[in-house]
A and B are shown apart, each in its own frame.
Chain A
């Protein structure tokens, strides 16, 4: 019997941790007949998922190649894992094609494994990730109010097509039941892969922790990152920045937040009780429908309650404010020094001059940089 397992995430449920753990357990998995993407790097795992969606939206060529590799290795289970599958699974035409092609290629069983998490904590986590990655400067309430963000954790809508596709077996693992060892064991158990993962000595347990169970960033760190996004936007935008430059900026802010202990023990929580209640209510019916379809019972994932902890920059301690303003200057200056992709070397906005009410800056003059302040 040949089995295709598609592990699709979902959002803010620790896919990266699972992937790292699967890579670390490659030998154990091979021993029980599981074939995975041979390359360890995350990009390679996504590549196959992307190829199955982009080659004319036809999964056949990629799946055929992977099936051949599985057969050549003498294994009977092909395990694909990428959160990119999630959006494909929300399209009934794609799930239909997947089921048909997999059947045609000789897969006897197709299992879709997702990890589902209550949406309140998930959205808080997603927001933190997006802000810290300098992808958004939106306030929390505006961010979670966006339809595409809201819908990205609506499991009933997302996985409805997969659930309705004959030949696809959808298995959902509650996020609250993941173990602290990266969640991979739970995913494999759900997929029916009979293996007991041992922890190899080279796996850092902190690294394999499930996101969301790790410490969230603090509210000052989040506020600083939001302001950095705005700063980069004002100075020519950061969409065309080299990803390494952006990653360096993210790391620099994170390092400073840790070094200077901007937040103490406080972790970010963007939900006010009223906003959380309204959101939980909105997802209730959808969650129940999903839970009954996959578990045959009502949705019971507990909704976390935390004190609201979102602040404005001016609510931070003066020392943190001085730090943040200085690092915003440093990071944007650092970003400016790096040539942009597509030849745009520098943002058009000059440093100097305050914008008068009419809009045009007064005497732009030579470029001015913020005064250099203290060593980092």
Chain B
């Protein structure tokens, strides 16, 4: 039995892939690919994302044993005995990036199968950091400035692929496949993923998904979300982005932002100068990583010349500011109701 572990990385169309996997469960099963139910995120029932497998190690508070971790996965797979098992969670990639849990992940993967294919999709870091920041703001986990976030990300090597994955370059029983994100843009991401993992499925029978699943906030939406995040922290001293109400609210808030037209433009926090500096700092590690996995220097283009596209809350015109306040007041009231509901439940 072969185990394919799609480990992200974050912000590389993982949400799309996980929804597409769900939509194509039967077709994949016809071709011997089994999508385990253990460890799946219960909050996204129409998606195949095995976040609990990662949270078992990185976030014990969020891990729900009832949903199942690695033990349950092993048991489930043993009961089915499929040709190929496919799991998907960007959280597994984060185990390596941010939590230094590479040893745990390797051990668990090998305990499921001795034929493991790890698929990692990599994206040049300027877009990756920009996108991660936008996601962090949307989920209230970051309320600071982009510049500070970007500096921290680079200083702490959050997106240094070589530092994170160098120990995976040569592991017996594990094939480490790295796919540039640009390939996901040229074709359907699920098709690209399956091709990278050597899974043969008739492409014309795959169901694709229309529309954006994970709304990105535009410049105004980013400021509104930052204000909401800071407002909630200031108003509720015990606010936690991990609490039930906050996790529900971020989806509601993103919907409101989309309705307000705040998701039409694309946020871009880098100034060309800052981007140039970051790209220079990232180059040695990127070259080392690319040499190891592709046997060539890093050639994913860094969009250093993209002009900054961001707003400053205080500089918004009066009417837009009013909309932002309305949004904050409405979302704050919603948050309080969600909290009450969470407490009742």
Residues of B within 8 A of A313 (CB): 227, 313-314
Is B264 an interface residue, CB under 8 A from the partner? yes
Is B328 an interface residue, CB under 8 A from the partner? yes
Nearest Cβ distance between residue A362 and chain B, in whole angstroms? 8
The reply to whether B321 and A318 contact each other, CB–CB distance below 8 Å, is no
The reply to whether B235 and A322 contact each other, CB–CB distance below 8 Å, is yes
The reply to whether B234 and A318 contact each other, CB–CB distance below 8 Å, is yes
The reply to whether A354 and B259 contact each other, CB–CB distance below 8 Å, is yes
Residues of A within 8 A of B314 (CB): 139, 223, 226-227, 312-313
The reply to whether A373 and B318 contact each other, CB–CB distance below 8 Å, is no
Is A276 an interface residue, CB under 8 A from the partner? no
Residues of A within 8 A of B264 (CB): 357
CA distance A57 to B234 in the complex (A): 55
The reply to whether A370 and B230 contact each other, CB–CB distance below 8 Å, is no
CA distance A233 to B313 in the complex (A): 16
CA distance A196 to B101 in the complex (A): 80
The reply to whether B327 and A354 contact each other, CB–CB distance below 8 Å, is yes
Size range of the chain A interface in the assembly: 35 or more
With A355-B319, A355-B320 as known contacts, state yes or no: A370 contacts B325, CB within 8 Å: yes
Report A295-324 CB contacts with B as 1/0, cut-off 8 Å. 000000000000000001111111111110
Is A20 an interface residue, CB under 8 A from the partner? no
Nearest Cβ distance between residue B142 and chain A, in whole angstroms? 12
Kindly specify which of A24-32, A108-116, A182-190, A345-353 makes contact with the partner chain: A345-353
Residues of B within 8 A of A314 (CB): 143, 145, 223, 226-227, 230, 313
Residues of A within 8 A of B316 (CB): 230
Report B217-236 CB contacts with A as 1/0, cut-off 8 Å. 00000010011001111110
Nearest Cβ distance between residue A45 and chain B, in whole angstroms? 36
Is B332 an interface residue, CB under 8 A from the partner? yes
CA distance A319 to B223 in the complex (A): 17
With A139-B315, A312-B312 as known contacts, state yes or no: A325 contacts B322, CB within 8 Å: no
The reply to whether B321 and A321 contact each other, CB–CB distance below 8 Å, is no
The reply to whether B226 and A325 contact each other, CB–CB distance below 8 Å, is no
Residues of A within 8 A of B326 (CB): 351-354, 368
Is B64 an interface residue, CB under 8 A from the partner? no
Is B252 an interface residue, CB under 8 A from the partner? no
Residues of B within 8 A of A130 (CB): none
Nearest Cβ distance between residue B231 and chain A, in whole angstroms? 5
The reply to whether A323 and B333 contact each other, CB–CB distance below 8 Å, is no
Report A216-244 CB contacts with B as 1/0, cut-off 8 Å. 00000001001100110111000000000
Report A126-139 CB contacts with B as 1/0, cut-off 8 Å. 00000000000001
The reply to whether B231 and A318 contact each other, CB–CB distance below 8 Å, is yes
The chain A residue sitting closest to B326, CB to CB, is: A354
The chain A residue sitting closest to B227, CB to CB, is: A314
Is B260 an interface residue, CB under 8 A from the partner? yes
The reply to whether A355 and B323 contact each other, CB–CB distance below 8 Å, is yes
The chain A residue sitting closest to B236, CB to CB, is: A322
Q: Name the residue among A233, A318, A362, A373 with the largest chain B CB count within 10 angstroms.
A: A318
Is B256 an interface residue, CB under 8 A from the partner? yes
With A318-B231, A357-B264, A371-B329 as known contacts, state yes or no: A231 contacts B322, CB within 8 Å: yes
Is B284 an interface residue, CB under 8 A from the partner? no
Report A334-364 CB contacts with B as 1/0, cut-off 8 Å. 0000000000000001011111110000100
Residues of A within 8 A of B322 (CB): 231, 234-235, 349
The reply to whether A230 and B321 contact each other, CB–CB distance below 8 Å, is yes
CA distance A326 to B143 in the complex (A): 19
Q: Name the residue among B145, B234, B261, B328 with the largest chain A CB count within 10 angstroms.
A: B234
> B230, B260, B261, B336: which contacts A321 (Cβ < 8 A)?
B230
Nearest Cβ distance between residue A124 and chain B, in whole angstroms? 18
The chain B residue sitting closest to A223, CB to CB, is: B314
The chain A residue sitting closest to B328, CB to CB, is: A325
With A314-B227, A371-B333 as known contacts, state yes or no: A234 contacts B312, CB within 8 Å: no
The chain B residue sitting closest to A311, CB to CB, is: B314
The reply to whether B231 and A325 contact each other, CB–CB distance below 8 Å, is yes
* A residues apposed to B, CB below 8 Å: 139, 223, 226-227, 230-231, 233-235, 312-323, 325-326, 328-329, 349, 351-357, 362, 368, 370-371, 373
16 CB-based A-B contacts, threshold 8 Å: A230-B317, A230-B318, A231-B322, A234-B319, A234-B322, A312-B313, A314-B143, A314-B313, A321-B230, A322-B230, A322-B233, A349-B322, A355-B323, A356-B260, A371-B329, A371-B333
Closest A-B pairs by Cβ, 5 of them: A322-B234, A318-B234, A234-B318, A357-B261, A354-B260
